[in-house]
Amino acid sequence: MERLLVLVRHGQSEWNLKNLFTGWKDVSLTEKGIIEAKAAGVRMAGEEMQFDLAYTSKLERAQKTLELILDEIGQPDLETIEDEALNERDYGDLVGLNKDDARKKWGDEQVHIWRRSYDIPPPGGESLKDTAARVLPYYLTKILPDVMAGKRVIVAAHGNSLRALVMVLEGLGRDEITGVNLGTGVPLVYRLGDDTRVLEKRILEA
């Protein structure tokens, strides 16, 4: 039984390029983001990866990344489940603001705390702890049972929703996860044992 789980952060988005806080705002991939997603699919195809099921968020940048990957591996019609539980962290009042402008308004230290602390949310938004509180129950009740049943699963989502999954998969503490950064369009490949623990992790970097 393979128990394959692949996590992929979406390719570069229009607001990543503009250095804006994005959160739940629905924005498109840039040309670079499209290239990143296709390249991730090419690397998976090179390893002859195939999937039984896909999960993604309700946001276009993750959905498009998944679509491009599935095209490259020859599975454009793969069953795909979309759920807002996998959406990016909600940045609240920071959404749409340039990160440099936010630092000028609130100061470097405060913006750093909002971005990198585990449990301090920006005004009107979610902390990583809040994000994990919606992502992890979904993982435990939906995604993990599929993987443990032997289905090969790919999840295309966002930096913070995936960090919540990495935290539980790798058994990271709240201080450790705040230092984890996920590259755009870089697949993380996990193989799980029959006790749900990670037996192997690989990063399919370009």
- Could you give the number of structural domains in the chain? 1
Residue 117 CB coordination number (10 Å)? 15
Q: Helix crossing, 159-169 with 128-138: angle to 10°?
A: 70
Q: pTM (2 decimals)?
A: 0.96
Residue range(s) defining the domain that contains residue 47:
4-203
Q: Which amino acid is at 19?
A: N
Quote the pLDDT of residue 1.
79
Question: What is the C-alpha separation between 133 and 130, in angstroms, rounded?
Answer: 5
| 179-199 per-position pLDDT tens digit | 899 999 999 999 999 999 999
CA neighbor of 201 nearest in space, from 189, 192, 185: 189
**pLDDT above 90 for 4:** yes
Mean of the pLDDT values across residues 25-35? 97
Q: Helix or strand or coil: residue 200?
A: strand
Quote the pLDDT of residue 176.
93
Q: Any idea which residues carry the catalytic annotation?
A: 10, 88
**pLDDT above 90 for 31:** yes
Question: What's the CA dihedral at 197, 5, 132, 117 to 10 degrees?
Answer: 90
**pLDDT above 90 for 150:** yes
Residue 162 sits at the vertex; the CA angle it makes with 157 and 165, to the nearest 5 degrees, is: 135
Quote the pLDDT of residue 154.
98
CATH for 65: 3.40.50.1240
Question: What is the C-alpha separation between 134 and 69, in angstroms, rounded?
Answer: 26
Question: What is the C-alpha separation between 84 and 105, in angstroms, rounded?
Answer: 30
The encoded tokens of residue 55 equal 């999960």
The encoded tokens of residue 95 equal 């959404």
C-alpha neighbours within 13 Å on the C-beta side of residue 156 = 29
Mean of the pLDDT values across residues 90-108? 96
Question: What is the C-alpha separation between 82 and 86, in angstroms, rounded?
Answer: 8
Inter-CA distances, 204 with 75, 105, 108, 114, Å: 19, 38, 33, 30
Question: What is the C-alpha separation between 14 and 159, in angstroms, rounded?
Answer: 15
Residue 121 φ then ψ, to 5°: -85, 155
Q: SS3 breakdown of the chain: % helix, strand, coil, rounded to 5?
A: 45, 15, 40
